[in-house]
Amino acid sequence: MQRTLKAPIDCVGTGLHSGKRVAIALRPAPAGHGIVFRRRDLGIDIPARFDWVADTRLCTVLAHPTIAAARVATVEHLMAALAGTGITNAIVEVDGPELPILDGSAASFVFLIDCAGSVEQDQPAACLEVLRRVRVAGADGSYAELLPPPRNAAAEIVPGLSARVAIEFSAPAIGAQAIALHVTPASFRKELAAARTFALFANIEAMRQAGLAKGGSLDNAVVVDGARVLNPSGLRMEREFVRHKLLDAVGDLALAGVVLCATLHAHRAGHALNNRLLRQLLAEPANWRLRDGALPDFLQQPAAPPRAAGASA
Residue 271 annotated as catalytic: yes
288: left (phi over 0), alpha (psi -120 to 50) or beta: beta
Q: Least distance in Å: CB of 247 to Zn ion?
A: 6
Is 274 a binder of Zn ion (CB under 5 A)?
no
Q: CA of 95: how far to CAs of 41, 46, 228, in Å?
A: 5, 13, 37
Size of the site for Zn ion (CB under 5 A): 2
Nearer to Zn ion (CB atom), residue 2 or residue 197: 197
Nearer to Zn ion (CB atom), residue 129 or residue 240: 240
Nearer to Zn ion (CB atom), residue 129 or residue 252: 252
Q: Least distance in Å: CB of 232 to Zn ion?
A: 21
Q: Least distance in Å: CB of 197 to Zn ion?
A: 4
Is 248 a binder of Zn ion (CB under 5 A)?
yes
Nearer to Zn ion (CB atom), residue 103 or residue 248: 248
> What are the residues facing 64 on neighbouring strands?
none
Stretch that binds Zn ion, among 160-168, 176-184, 241-249, 267-275 (CB under 5 A): 241-249
Is 197 a binder of Zn ion (CB under 5 A)?
yes
Spot the catalytic one: 33, 265, 267, 271.
271
Long-range contacts of 225-232 (CB under 8 A, 24+ apart): 225/171, 225/173, 225/200, 225/201, 226/171, 226/172, 226/173, 227/171, 227/172, 227/173, 228/173, 229/173, 230/201
- Contacting residues for 144 by C-beta, under 8 A, at least 6 apart: 135, 136, 137, 249, 264, 265, 266, 267, 269, 273, 274, 276, 277
Catalytic residues: 271
Q: Which residues bind Zn ion (CB under 5 A)?
A: 197, 248
